[in-house]
């Protein structure tokens, strides 16, 4: 009988227990020591980042003072965890003993790694979450709270009792308010966290459940999350997902969902096959039969865990490889909000991957997402809108949203302006959907533009970015430009030109540019000093902002009254513009060329730009394969030829030969612009020679027959000039 | 299989396996005076004809509530096996504490002596010191398939050592005193256990009267289901239940 075994193994356990005692005591004094140390730290300077919990702080200290010290540190830990393993020998299975030993090695390794990479944890990641190792906030004095002592007392029973005593202690521990930070940290500091995780590694289902119930609550705390991951808790929880007990599986999944909120944890889950198991849990029951709360609990918890994990790009791929997408599609059709929310949350996270968007399109998920936009749960609505926002990058999906009548509920949701997160998601969805012209027309039916204009003021930035983006897309339609003006939307837009958020600025520029295509709007923009603001954005360090500002300037210059004077009125404005031709960013270069093409239509301004050296700068760009850049560059050159000796200058700067090569591209817009440029350049005889040498005539001859009038004329004119020169040369030669 | 239904007249729960500690039963097959209810029961068993057997099965199916008829048959078969094993050692009906404990250990892995004693007492409703087939089947019902209410009643009965309807601190102490590994250099070991008892009481004693009534216990278990076996494992765990059912009910005849 087990009782006899326990009495026998008590003897050897005795000896180890002494070690345990020793380690425990030293551990305790360490913690007190640390606490006083920390408070001193607080008073003086701010403590540096780095793990400050009890276990690794001494470790780091010893590490710096020499190898032997760190080894002794390791030994203490090893005995501590080994001793723990042994002290339960009488009560728990032998398997646990072995795992206790291996755990001690693991703990050492992970903490060693942790010490060295803790500072690197704060690498930049695409996910905006807590990757830096959390710094512990210190409370004032060295008074340990009442909770600390209570929990420590219970911890004693958890560590030193058989499953019965452990259970009683664990159940009592839940009477503390585990959502309070003092309790959470108390559990960590008393070493109870390690014991809880050790319990997970046993075969005692009730103890595992009891431990997980506590871990689930306290893992809301960021320090505890990191600690759990460091102690190898995640691997064990992933193993538990294989168990047959439903309650246990659900608790494990929910705890994983809480812990996996930072990058390293998500990686751990993936590395131990957790993603696959979670996806399998989704498969466990069919949707139709699931009207019992207990059955669907597994699915809900698994979905929550997948949602947390899906924030990592590699995990998104892993979910797909494990066959998660059809399952997500299946569960999307269920009607329980508490399952739907994590499922849609996961989809929305993953929708940034093109493979998911393809699946979302083909598995018919758009229809369900649209349907759920009309749900009563605002959180669900928000996630659906977010998913649509991310998916609508693809044109097909935009069409699908329209086909399933998704635009109307989106528009209706704009009225719920108190819930800012929902509003941000909805406006985001509207923005991306508006990239398709048919959608914009639909939005006009629902008077969306009017509502959007009212949202231009008094909104948080995430909302504003999307609202302005949406308006920018809508401005491509003439009617909307008028609507915006009538509703007084232009003034707030121009005010936003002074903001500092780059994403916002890019959208505002686009919107202002879009509005400026209407001359009446342009007048208002000008009166509000909008052009000057746009121009000064050319100085912004962000290339996206520069480019969008330059693009916006094109219609401004085109449509403004007295645009020539207006441009000249900006002190050093043209110099700034021309100097941007030295940028490295292709989009910036393209947009500047477009702006220059517009500005050069005014002679005086062209003269000024020439003085600033626009000709050599443009010529330097000529060697490019980028069609968009080629087109605008050719246009700019064409217009810049109209002043003084620029034609000759271009020829000397060796711009002509590269231009000739543009004719070989497949883009008709490039052809048109190049032909115009060549026509202008061919007024100078030297350029004609260069062009002829580069085989321009043959290519232009083909274009003479094109349907594009401008191209025809320009091509013909250029060929004519070349011919005339040839004839004149002949005449001169032969008299 | 014919089995004699002689019951030992010793109502005390002594451990003597071979002889009652009261006046010795006469050897041979004389019928001892029957306890109330025993007569009908004996008639049923003694008959052992197919009809008698069927009647037995029907009765038990009704009273045990959780088993089907074929499952009851299988349990009776198991009982017979156990009794046969026991009869080889001594004469008498049913099987006694030792066999019972061995059985529970081998099928369900239950090891705690104190709990096993209590379980035996609960099974043995008429306090004869031996488990009859009726007690066997009816006793197994809550163990294997009880509803939460039945399990709560069962566990409470186990923990209530003196059967007074309350689990007192003393009783809790008795049950928990072997649950803790006492470390040397600790305060008095008794104090440590008493602390644990206090913790348990604080958690479960809703009416604050210093002892656990069934109401207290029930409320505590409904609040936190892990507390069902708070003072010691007395129910078989899921795995052993499933393997027991698989093994014993395997030969359910297909109707």
pLDDT tens profile A684-721: 988 998 898 898 999 999 899 889 899 999 999 999 99
Structure tokens given for A140: 């004032």
Structure tokens given for A372: 């759920």
Looking at residue A610, what is its pLDDT? Answer: 93
Q: What is the per-residue pLDDT across A538-597, written as a single tens digit (0 to 9) for each?
A: 999 999 999 999 999 999 999 988 888 899 898 888 999 999 999 999 999 999 999 999
pLDDT of residue B177 exceeding 90, the answer is no
pLDDT of residue A608 exceeding 80, the answer is yes
Average pLDDT value for residue range B68-87: 80
Q: Which helix (H) or strand (E) holds B223?
A: helix B214-223
B231 touches chain A (CB under 8 A): yes
Query: Rounded to an integer, what distance in angstroms lies between the CA atom of residue A4 and that of residue A89?
Result: 12
Nearest to A160 among B183, B184, B202 (CB): B183
B106 touches chain A (CB under 8 A): no
What 3-state DSSP class applies to B166? strand
Structure tokens given for B9: 């007249």
Q: Are the Cβ atoms of A174 and B224 closer than 8 angstroms?
A: yes
Nearest to B181 among A18, A90, A164 (CB): A90
Q: Which residues of B touch A162 (CB under 8 A)?
A: 178-181
Minimum distance, in Å, between the CA of residue B31 and any CA atom of chain A: 38
Average pLDDT value for residue range A129-136: 59
Q: Are the Cβ atoms of B179 and A164 closer than 8 angstroms?
A: yes
Round the CA-based radius of gyration of chain A to a whole number and report it: 35
Which of 169-208 (B) contact A at CB < 8 A? Answer: 176, 178-181, 183-185, 195-196, 199-200, 202-203
First to last CA, chain A: 127
Length of chain B (residues): 255
**How many other CB atoms are there within 10 angstroms of residue A476's CB atom?**
15
> Among A612-616, A691-695, A703-707, B28-32, which stretch is predicted with the lowest mean pLDDT?
B28-32
Whether the CA torsion B242, B245, B247, B251 is positive or negative: it is negative
Residues forming beta bridges with residue A658, ordered by sequence position? none
Residue A174 vs residues A220, A351, A425: alpha-carbon distances, Å = 15, 39, 37
Do A592 and A631 form a contact (C-beta atoms < 8 A)? no
Question: Which of A171, A208, A247, A248 should be substituted to probe chain B, the one whose Cβ sees the most B Cβ atoms within 10 Å?
Answer: A171
Proportion of chain B above pLDDT 70, given as a percent: 73
Looking at residue A46, what is its pLDDT? Answer: 40
Please give the DSSP secondary-structure letter assigned to residue A122: G
> Among A121-130, A521-530, B104-113, B219-228, which stretch is predicted with the lowest mean pLDDT?
A121-130
Structure tokens given for B150: 């039945």
Do A447 and A408 form a contact (C-beta atoms < 8 A)? no
Looking at residue A97, what is its pLDDT? Answer: 41
> Among A286-290, A301-305, A629-633, A684-688, which stretch is predicted with the lowest mean pLDDT?
A286-290
Nearest to B203 among A162, A172, A210 (CB): A172
Minimum distance, in Å, between the CA of residue B233 and any CA atom of chain A: 7
Q: Which helix (H) or strand (E) holds B250?
A: none
**How many other CB atoms are there within 10 angstroms of residue B111's CB atom?**
16
Looking at residue A87, what is its pLDDT? Answer: 40
Q: What is the mean pLDDT of chain A?
A: 81
The contacts of residue B133 (CB under 8 Å, 6+ apart) are B45, B56, B60, B76, B79, B80, B94
% helix / strand / coil in chain A, to the nearest 5? Answer: 75, 0, 25
First to last CA, chain B: 24
pLDDT of residue A252 exceeding 90, the answer is yes
For residue A243, what is the nearest residue in chain B, using CA coordinates? B239
Minimum distance, in Å, between the CA of residue B203 and any CA atom of chain A: 6
Those residues of chain A whose CB sits closer than 8 Å to some CB in chain B are 1-3, 10, 13-14, 17-18, 20-21, 87-88, 90-91, 153-154, 157, 160-165, 167-172, 174-175, 205-206, 209-210, 244-245
pLDDT band with cut points at 50, 70 and 90 for residue A22:
very low
Q: Exposed, middle or buried, A537 (CB in 10 Å: 0-12/13-18/19+)? A: buried
Query: Rounded to an integer, what distance in angstroms lies between the CA atom of residue A501 and that of residue B112?
Result: 69
The contacts of residue A462 (CB under 8 Å, 6+ apart) are A420, A424
**Range from A211-215, B95-99, B120-124 that averages highest in pLDDT:** A211-215
- CA-closest candidate to residue B42, choices B94, B108, B102, B80: B94
pLDDT of residue B200 exceeding 80, the answer is yes
What 3-state DSSP class applies to A575? helix
Query: Rounded to an integer, what distance in angstroms lies between the CA atom of residue A21 and that of residue A14?
Result: 10
pLDDT band with cut points at 50, 70 and 90 for residue B242:
confident
Do A678 and A642 form a contact (C-beta atoms < 8 A)? no
Query: Rounded to an integer, what distance in angstroms lies between the CA atom of residue A38 and that of residue A46?
Result: 10
Do A211 and A203 form a contact (C-beta atoms < 8 A)? no
* Phi, psi angle pair for A602, to nearest 5°: -95, 125
Distance of CA A426 to the CA centre of its chain: 18
Residues forming beta bridges with residue B96, ordered by sequence position? B130
Minimum distance, in Å, between the CA of residue A271 and any CA atom of chain B: 30
Nearest to A157 among B178, B196, B239 (CB): B196
pLDDT of residue B30 exceeding 50, the answer is no
Q: Are the Cβ atoms of A160 and B176 closer than 8 angstroms?
A: no
Looking at residue A120, what is its pLDDT? Answer: 34
ipTM score of the complex?
0.73
For residue B234, what is the nearest residue in chain A, using CA coordinates? A164
pLDDT band with cut points at 50, 70 and 90 for residue A53:
very low
pTM of the model: 0.71
Average pLDDT value for residue range A408-436: 92
Secondary structure (DSSP) of A630-687: HHHHHHHHHHHTTSTTHHHHHHHTT-HHHHHHHTTSS-HHHHHHHHHHHHHHTTSHHH
Query: Rounded to an integer, what distance in angstroms lies between the CA atom of residue A176 and that of residue B199?
Result: 13
Query: Rounded to an integer, what distance in angstroms lies between the CA atom of residue A164 and that of residue A158?
Result: 10
Proportion of chain B above pLDDT 90, given as a percent: 4
Minimum distance, in Å, between the CA of residue B84 and any CA atom of chain A: 24
Query: Rounded to an integer, what distance in angstroms lies between the CA atom of residue A133 and that of residue A227?
Result: 10
For residue B101, what is the nearest residue in chain A, using CA coordinates? A1
Do A534 and A556 form a contact (C-beta atoms < 8 A)? yes
pLDDT of residue A130 exceeding 70, the answer is no
Average pLDDT value for residue range A492-514: 93
Q: Which helix (H) or strand (E) holds A427?
A: helix A420-433
Q: Are the Cβ atoms of B181 and A168 closer than 8 angstroms?
A: no
Q: Are the Cβ atoms of B233 and A164 closer than 8 angstroms?
A: yes
* Phi, psi angle pair for B139, to nearest 5°: -75, -35
Q: What is the per-residue pLDDT across A324-381, written as a single tens digit (0 to 9) for each?
A: 998 998 888 888 888 899 999 999 999 999 899 998 888 889 999 999 998 888 999 9
Q: Are the Cβ atoms of B238 and A171 closer than 8 angstroms?
A: no
Looking at residue A288, what is its pLDDT? Answer: 55
Looking at residue A58, what is its pLDDT? Answer: 40
Nearest to B180 among A160, A205, A245 (CB): A160
pLDDT band with cut points at 50, 70 and 90 for residue A505:
very high
Do A160 and B181 form a contact (C-beta atoms < 8 A)? yes
Q: A90 versus B225: which is more confidently predicted?
A: B225
Q: Are the Cβ atoms of A161 and B179 closer than 8 angstroms?
A: yes
Minimum distance, in Å, between the CA of residue B182 and any CA atom of chain A: 8
pLDDT band with cut points at 50, 70 and 90 for residue A136:
low
**Range from A48-52, A414-418, A578-582, B243-247 that averages highest in pLDDT:** A578-582
Minimum distance, in Å, between the CA of residue B230 and any CA atom of chain A: 6
Do A204 and A240 form a contact (C-beta atoms < 8 A)? no
Looking at residue B128, what is its pLDDT? Answer: 83
Secondary structure (DSSP) of B54-90: HHHHHHHHHHH-SS-HHHHHHHHHHHHHHHHHHHHHS
pLDDT of residue A154 exceeding 60, the answer is yes
Question: Which of B174, B196, B240, B242 should be substituted to probe chain A, the one whose Cβ sees the most A Cβ atoms within 10 Å?
Answer: B196
CA angle B80, B85, B90 (to 5 degrees): 110
Length of chain A (residues): 735
Q: Are the Cβ atoms of A168 and B230 closer than 8 angstroms?
A: yes
Query: Rounded to an integer, what distance in angstroms lies between the CA atom of residue A328 and that of residue A734?
Result: 84
Query: Rounded to an integer, what distance in angstroms lies between the CA atom of residue A401 and that of residue A367?
Result: 8
The contacts of residue B28 (CB under 8 Å, 6+ apart) are none
Looking at residue B60, what is its pLDDT? Answer: 85
Q: What is the per-residue pLDDT across B206-219, written as a single tens digit (0 to 9) for each?
A: 888 888 899 999 99
């Amino acid at each position: 009988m087990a009782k006899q075994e326990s009495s026998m193994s008590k003897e050897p356990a005795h000896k180890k227990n002494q070690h345990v005692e020793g380690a425990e005591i030293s551990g305790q004094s360490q913690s007190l020591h640390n606490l006083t140390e920390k408070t001193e730290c607080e008073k003086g300077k701010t403590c540096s980042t780095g793990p400050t919990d009890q276990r690794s702080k001494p470790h780091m200290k010893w590490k710096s003072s020499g190898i032997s010290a760190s080894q002794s540190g390791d030994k203490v830990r090893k005995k501590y965890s080994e001793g723990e393993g042994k002290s339960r020998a009488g009560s728990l299975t032998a398997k646990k003993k072995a795992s206790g030993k291996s755990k001690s090695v693991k703990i050492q390794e992970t903490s060693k790694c942790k010490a060295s990479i803790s500072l690197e944890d704060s690498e930049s990641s695409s996910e905006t979450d807590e990757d830096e190792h959390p710094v512990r906030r210190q409370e004032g004095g060295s008074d340990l709270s009442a909770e600390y002592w209570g929990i420590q007392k219970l911890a004693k029973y958890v560590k030193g009792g058989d499953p019965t005593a452990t259970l009683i202690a664990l159940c009592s521990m839940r009477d503390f308010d585990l959502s309070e930070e003092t309790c959470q940290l108390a559990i960590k500091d008393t070493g109870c966290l390690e014991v809880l995780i050790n319990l997970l590694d046993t075969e005692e289902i009730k103890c595992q459940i009891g431990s997980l119930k506590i871990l689930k609550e306290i893992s809301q705390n960021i320090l505890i999350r990191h600690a759990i991951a460091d102690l190898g808790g995640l691997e064990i929880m992933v193993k538990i997902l294989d168990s047959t007990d439903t309650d246990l599986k659900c608790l494990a999944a929910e705890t994983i969902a809480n812990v996996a909120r930072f990058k390293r944890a998500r990686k751990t889950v993936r590395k131990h096959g957790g993603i696959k198991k979670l996806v399998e849990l989704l498969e466990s029951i069919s949707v139709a039969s699931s009207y019992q709360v207990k059955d669907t609990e597994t699915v809900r918890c698994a979905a929550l865990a997948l949602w947390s994990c899906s924030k990592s790009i590699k995990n998104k791929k892993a979910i797909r490889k494990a066959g998660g997408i059809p399952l997500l599609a299946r569960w999307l059709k269920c009607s329980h909000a508490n399952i739907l929310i994590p499922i849609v949350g996961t989809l929305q996270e993953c929708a940034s991957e093109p493979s998911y968007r393809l699946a979302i399109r083909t598995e018919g998920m758009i229809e369900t997402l649209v349907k759920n936009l009309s749900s009563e749960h605002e959180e669900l609505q928000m996630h659906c809108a977010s998913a649509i926002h991310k998916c609508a990058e693809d044109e097909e999906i935009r069409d699908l949203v329209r086909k399933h009548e998704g635009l109307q509920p989106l528009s209706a949701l704009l009225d719920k302006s108190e819930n800012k997160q929902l509003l941000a998601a909805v406006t985001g969805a509207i923005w991306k959907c508006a990239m398709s012209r048919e959608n914009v027309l639909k939005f006009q039916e629902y008077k969306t533009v009017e509502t959007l204009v009212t949202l231009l003021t008094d909104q948080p930035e995430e909302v504003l970015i999307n609202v302005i983006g949406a308006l920018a897309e809508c401005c491509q339609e003439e009617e909307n430009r008028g609507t915006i003006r009538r509703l007084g939307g232009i003034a707030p837009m121009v005010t936003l030109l002074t903001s500092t958020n780059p994403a916002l600025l890019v959208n505002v520029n686009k919107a202002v540019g879009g509005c400026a295509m209407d001359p009446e709007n342009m007048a208002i923009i000008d009166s509000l000093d909008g052009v000057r603001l746009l121009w000064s954005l050319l100085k912004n360090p962000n290339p996206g902002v520069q480019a969008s500002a330059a693009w916006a300037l094109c219609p401004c210059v085109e449509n403004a009254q007295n645009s020539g004077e207006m441009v000249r009125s900006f002190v050093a404005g043209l110099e700034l513009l021309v100097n941007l031709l030295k940028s490295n960013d292709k989009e910036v270069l393209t947009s500047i060329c477009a702006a220059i093409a517009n500005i050069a239509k005014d002679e005086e301004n062209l003269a000024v730009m020439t003085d600033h050296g626009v000709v050599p700068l443009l010529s330097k760009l000529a060697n490019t394969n980028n069609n968009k850049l080629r087109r605008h560059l050719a246009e700019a050159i064409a217009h810049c030829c109209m002043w003084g000796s620029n034609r000759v200058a271009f020829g000397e700067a060796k711009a002509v030969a590269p231009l000739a090569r543009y004719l070989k591209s497949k883009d008709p817009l490039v052809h048109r612009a190049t032909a115009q440029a060549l026509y202008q350049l061919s007024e100078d005889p030297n350029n004609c020679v260069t062009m002829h040498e580069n085989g321009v005539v043959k290519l232009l001859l083909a274009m003479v027959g094109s349907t594009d009038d401008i191209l025809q004329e320009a091509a013909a004119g250029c060929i004519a000039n070349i011919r005339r020169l040839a004839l004149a040369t002949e005449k001169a030669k032969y008299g | 299989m014919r089995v004699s239904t002689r019951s030992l007249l010793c109502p005390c729960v002594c451990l003597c396996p071979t002889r009652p500690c009261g006046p010795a039963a006469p050897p041979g097959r004389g019928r001892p005076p029957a306890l109330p209810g025993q007569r009908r029961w004996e008639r049923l068993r003694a008959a052992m004809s197919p009809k008698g057997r069927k009647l037995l099965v029907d009765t038990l199916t009704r009273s045990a509530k959780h088993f089907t008829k074929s499952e009851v048959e299988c349990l009776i078969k198991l009982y017979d096996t156990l009794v046969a094993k026991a009869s080889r050692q001594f004469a008498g009906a049913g099987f006694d504490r030792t066999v019972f404990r061995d059985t529970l250990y081998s099928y369900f892995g239950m090891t705690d002596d104190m709990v096993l004693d209590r379980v035996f007492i609960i099974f043995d409703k008429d306090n004869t010191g031996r488990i009859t087939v009726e007690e066997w089947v009816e006793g197994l019902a809550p163990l294997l398939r009880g509803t939460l209410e039945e399990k709560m009643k069962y566990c409470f009965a186990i923990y209530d050592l003196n059967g007074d309807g309350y689990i007192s601190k003393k009783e809790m102490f008795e049950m928990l005193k072997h649950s803790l590994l006492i470390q040397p250099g600790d305060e008095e070991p008794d104090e440590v256990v008493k602390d644990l008892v206090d913790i348990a009481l604080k958690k479960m004693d809703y009416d604050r009267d210093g002892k656990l009534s069934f109401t207290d216990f029930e409320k505590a278990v409904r609040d936190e289901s892990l507390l069902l076996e708070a003072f010691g494992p007395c129910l078989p765990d899921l795995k052993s239940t499933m393997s027991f059912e698989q093994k014993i009910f395997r030969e359910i005849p297909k109707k």
